[in-house]
Amino acid sequence: MVQHPQIDRTFAALADPTRRSVLERLGQGSATITELAEPFGISLTGMKKHVLVLEDAELVVTEKVGRARRCSLGPRRLDDVQAWVETYRRMLDERLDRFGELLEQTKGTPR
């Protein structure tokens, strides 16, 4: 058992287009496994696995209601993911800035 921390599980969950679509669908309101599976032409079992992955990433919560299972978006707003991406952008910008300065310096000493 490798025991991925939450951000790993989250990025991995978001790497699959089917799962991102499911999240977007759930943005319209909760749905059952059957309703989620139908537009993808995928088996119920297959969709249930995707939902499980999303639950593990705490992006989706589910509840058994009668014979159906209602799936809804969880409360996570992906703050950690967004924070990582933003830190990365800032880092990149700094690096490019420093590269720019370097070019600027080099300009004075050609050949």
- How many CA atoms lie within 13 Å of 28's alpha carbon, on the beta-carbon side? 8
91 binds, among a copy of itself, DNA, none (CB under 5 to 8 A by kind): a copy of itself
β strands within 24-99, DSSP E: 31-32, 60-65, 68-73
Q: What is the distance between the alpha carbons of residues 94 and 89, in angstroms, rounded to a whole number? A: 9
Find out whether 23 and 54 touch, Cβ atoms under 8 Å: yes
Among 66, 75, 108, 110, binds DNA (CB under 7 A): 66
Minimum CB separation from DNA for residue 70, in Å?
8
| Residue 107: CB minimum distance to a copy of itself, A | 21
Q: Which residue has the tokens 């287009």?
A: 17
Contact partner, 50, from a copy of itself, DNA, none, Cβ < 5-8 Å per class:
DNA
Binding site for DNA (CB under 7 A): 1-2, 12, 15-16, 18, 32-34, 37, 41-46, 48-50, 53, 64-69
